[in-house]
Amino acid sequence: MGAPETDKLIGPRATTSLVSRAAPLASAARQLQVLERTGVAPFKATLRPAAVEIFQINVGKLCNMTCRHCHVDAGPDRTAEMMSRETVELCLAALDRTAAATVDITGGAPELNPHFRYLVEQCVRRGKRVIDRCNLTVLLTGPCRDLPAWFAERGVEIVCSLPHYRKRNTDLQRGDGTFEKSIEALERLNAVGYGQGNPRLRLTLMHNPAGAYLAGDRASMEREWKQGLKDNYGVSFDALIALNNMPISRFLEWLEASGNLHAYMETLVNAYNPATVAGLMCRNTLSVGWDGRLYDCDFNQMLELDARYADGERAHIRDFDPARLAARSIVTARHCFGCTAGAGSSCGGAIA
Ligand code: SF4
Ligand code: SF4
């Protein structure tokens, strides 16, 4: 049985970015205040970083879509927040000073950054495992149409967001027509070898719930999705990961507007699972913002909760200092309950 309709991301089909509407929640400080006012207990776990294994680079907020649940507040209007070539070079220099084996490139739609291919190429040359976080539909836009083959030549791993394997749930979050485009993009990726069990051409789908409830059991969903997408559309993928929706940005706006905010925060807090803490992504990931500011994770980045050295100074890629970063404490707030609920949630999916 599915969730009640009132708990789903329903509403007018199209949305726009909070920034373009000058909505109060465009302010990160306002988002944190709203979460504080829910009255749920503060997040108390003290988190310390482990060795950096994943160097995550958010190259900007520009996106060809404007999904209702977006934690980035990305959209076609977000052209101002775009990582420059100079900052890309600083990222590469910093990467060379870490032992991170994986570079995780995200956005927005990262492929729309003019320096995206250069960044990927440089990371591949360094022997890194490179992940592109792709929204699928961008692969059908003019300058990106050759990307499936380009990725395949370089062995780039693709992690594609697709809210659901059924059309209705996907289009509710992402807009009408998204599902068909996503299927066409999956066909293109399959055509060059992705999603067929080849470890060099790995295609992962990333699911997030279509409403104010936690992600379901990953293994059973993966079986269901594989079957559903193969039988109905003839497309395949290698693995499914499931993320909880974070109560920030546009999903926070929807939670408030639909009257689900308090119940959702209680759901997250009541489902707190201490077994997830050791595997939280903020412990082994360093997140770089489009302007070079450093964060413990992409969620903290959107809330402008900068990583801080032990003396309180904000960390920035231009004065990257691995030893000082290793001595920091991770910045937490109530949104962190989104990562520790149930089986946990991270860019790599469930934790525990
Ligand atoms: S959720 Fe992803 S695809 Fe959707 S608007 Fe945000 S960045 Fe773009
Ligand atoms: S939002 Fe999640 S990953 Fe980020 S600091 Fe909080 S617990 Fe860690």
Global pTM value: 0.95
Asked whether residue 327 is assigned to any structural domain, the reply reads yes
| Distance separating alpha carbons of residues 278 and 267, to the nearest angstrom | 21
Ligand number with the minimum distance to the CA of 287: 2
Please list, residue by residue across 153-181, b when 16 or more beta carbons sit within 10 angstroms of its beta carbon and e when fewer do: eeebbbbbbbbbbebebbbbbbbeebbeb
pLDDT of 6 higher than 80: no
**Ligand 2 lined by 293 (C-beta under 6 Å):** no
pLDDT number for residue 4: 45
CA distance 68 to 58: 20
DSSP lists the bridge partners of residue 341 as 272
Q: Which residue has the higher pLDDT, 352 or 179?
A: 179
Residue 18 within a domain: no
296 lines ligand 2 (CB under 6 A): yes
Closest atom of ligand 1 to 174 CA is: 4
Find, among 288, 285, 281, 286, the residue nearest to 58 by Cα: 288
Residue 10, domain member (yes or no)? no
pLDDT of the residue at 9: 57
Domain of residue 109: give its range.
36-340
- Rounded Cα distance between 155 and 75, Å, is 28
Supply the residue whose CA is at minimum distance from atom 3 of ligand 2: 282
Pocket lining: 250 vs ligand 2, CB cutoff 6 Å? no
* Domain annotation covers residue 45: yes
CB 154 within 8 A of CB 121: yes
Assess whether the C-beta atom of 35 lies below 6 angstroms from ligand 2.
no
The reply to whether 22 falls in a domain is no
> What integer pLDDT is reported at residue 347 of this predicted model?
79
Check: CB of residue 300 under 8 Å from CB of residue 282. yes
- Span 215-226, mean pLDDT? 92
For residue range 148-195, what is the model confidence (pLDDT) as tens digits?
A: 999 999 999 999 999 889 898 888 878 888 999 999 999 999 999 999
- Alpha-carbon gap, residue 72 to 63, rounded angstroms: 10
What is the number of structural domains in the chain? 1
Residue 351 located in a structural domain: no
Given a contact cutoff of 8 angstroms between Cβ atoms, the answer to whether 241 and 281 are in contact is no
Angstrom distance (rounded) from CA 15 to CA 50: 39
* Number of Cβ atoms within 10 Å of the Cβ of 347: 20
Question: How far, in Å, from the CA of 208 to the mean position of ligand 1?
Answer: 12
Tokens 């539909």 identify what position?
Answer: 137
Count CB atoms within 10 A of the CB of residue 14.
9
| CATH number reported for the structural domain that contains residue 196 in this entry | 3.20.20.70
* Integer CA distances (angstroms), 331 to 59, 256, 306, 312, 313, in order: 22, 24, 8, 11, 13
Tell me if 15 is assigned to some domain.
no
- pLDDT > 60? residue 279: yes
**12 in a structural domain:** no
Ligand closest to Cα of 249 equals 1
| Sole residue written with tokens 């707190």 | 272
pLDDT at 3 over 80: no
Taking phi first (over 0 means left), then psi (-120 to 50 degrees means alpha), and beta for anything else, what does residue 139 get? alpha
CA of 295 to the centre of ligand 1 (A): 20
